[in-house]
Amino acid sequence: MATAARSTKYRRQSDTDLSRMEIMEGAALCFEARGYSATSLDEVAARIFSTKGRIYHHYASKAELFLDVYRTGMLMNFQAIEPILERDMPAIERLKAVLKAHVMCVIRTKAFQNVVGQGVDMLRHGTMPANEHAELEQLAALRDAYSDHFRTVLEQAMADGDIAYANIKIALNSVFMCINGPIVWFTPRKGQDEREIEAVADECVLYAIRLLGYRGEMP
């Protein structure tokens, strides 16, 4: 049985984080493919050759699992860009680097980011499945904080005269639509190496900064 194979791999004390991560990965793939409410926990369990019992051992509800995937996706984003924000360089270069890091992260963690997108939609429409308001607002705050990082860099690059936008809300939304695009339209090829993925990311970044009025060419 596949279950037996898995159990020797994970069945050790304090491996619960590993187990949760395996569950989250299965859940992210299912949520991405069929959406939150269309995916049953039995599907998620089947995807990792397990059972619903295991999921409910780690999560109190379907919503809690979803929120954990959401949170993990956001944390992946933060980890990708925060080191770059501390670097000392011209704002426009920091902008390019941050955009690139975001796109690369988004492509690599496509399923998780798709769930993040669904979560944002749910927050927007107030149709979250959970009742834990604390959790919800905390995640909304996370999202805002992440967005603010980009807003700040935009404003700095604008002050330097390297880019020009009219309404920062619309500009920021457009940039996000652009660099989050791969979540929707990118389909990984078999045997596609890192170089090719970087080329896609570079092109996305180029379009994003062009959108902001950047005139220079890319390195």
Tokens 């993990």 sit at which residue? 72
Under the binding rule (CB under 7 A), the answer on residue 42 touching DNA is yes
Q: Which does 10 bind (CB under 5 to 8 A by kind): DNA, a second copy, none?
A: DNA
- Which lies closer to DNA via its Cβ, residue 40 or residue 147? 40
In the shown chain, the binding pattern of residues 49 to 78 toward DNA, with x for contact by CB under 7 A and - for none, equals -xxxxx-xxx-xxxx---------------
Minimum distance from CB of 137 to DNA (Å)?
A: 20
Tokens of 130: 């959970």
Under the binding rule (CB under 7 A), the answer on residue 7 touching DNA is yes
Q: Which does 167 bind (CB under 5 to 8 A by kind): DNA, a second copy, none?
A: a second copy
Q: Which does 35 bind (CB under 5 to 8 A by kind): DNA, a second copy, none?
A: a second copy
- Which lies closer to DNA via its Cβ, residue 15 or residue 137? 15
Between the two ends of the chain, the Cα-to-Cα distance in Å is: 52
DSSP letters for 114-133:
HHHHHHHHHHHHT--S---H
Q: What interhelical angle do 91-108 and 110-125 show, nearest 10?
A: 100
Under the binding rule (CB under 7 A), the answer on residue 21 touching DNA is no
- Which lies closer to a second copy via its Cβ, residue 136 or residue 178? 178
**186 within 8 A of 110, measured Cβ to Cβ:** yes
**Helix H or strand E segment including 101:** helix 91-108
Any idea what DSSP says for residue 190? T
Give contact residues for a second copy (rule: CB under 8 A).
32-38, 121, 125, 127, 165-167, 170-171, 173-174, 177-178, 180-181, 184-185, 200, 203-204, 206-208, 210-213, 215
Core vs surface per residue 3-24: b (16+ CB within 10 A) or e = eeebeeeeeeeeeeeebbebbb
- Which lies closer to DNA via its Cβ, residue 42 or residue 160? 42
Q: Which of residues 142-171 bind DNA (CB under 7 A)?
A: none
**44 within 8 A of 24, measured Cβ to Cβ:** no
Other Cβ atoms within 10 Å of 27 Cβ, number: 28
Residues making contact with DNA (CB under 7 A): 3, 6-7, 10-16, 19, 37, 39-42, 45, 50-54, 56-58, 60-63
